[in-house]
Amino acid sequence: MDDQEMISARVEHARQVAKILHWLGWLVAVVGAAGMAVFTAFWVAGDLSAEQGAGLVLGTTLATALSGVTAYGAGVNIGLGAERLRLAAQAAGLSPPPPGRPVPDRGPGGRPE
């Protein structure tokens, strides 16, 4: 596997991981919202004391926010890293430009003019 193929494979893998982490971040938010709704329903029904209900709802909110934002942020970070790698490889002449962009003319030494 040459450098161009290896870089392209890494960029594609990073994009797939970024999509999964974005999806995971939103999934955690949905599950957390459902948990908050269930704990609130128990609290309103009287199955939980005010202290227990407030603790569970606030704890679920904080845990959900931290977990979801962490997963989503990691996905964004990986996506940005993949794009930086693609741009660096493109500047070094190791990978083709994205679809739809013309290939620059190469001067002596393989550098764009």
Taken in order 91, 94, 98, 99, is the CA torsion positive or negative?
positive
DSSP 3-state assignment of 34? helix
Mean pLDDT of 4-24: 85
Assess whether pLDDT exceeds 70 at residue 111: no
DSSP 3-state assignment of 106? strand
State how far the Cα of 36 lies from the Cα of 3, in Å rounded to an integer.
49
State how far the Cα of 12 lies from the Cα of 100, in Å rounded to an integer.
18
As a whole number, the mean pLDDT across the chain is: 80
**Does pTM surpass 0.85?**
no
State how far the Cα of 62 lies from the Cα of 98, in Å rounded to an integer.
40
State how far the Cα of 6 lies from the Cα of 12, in Å rounded to an integer.
10
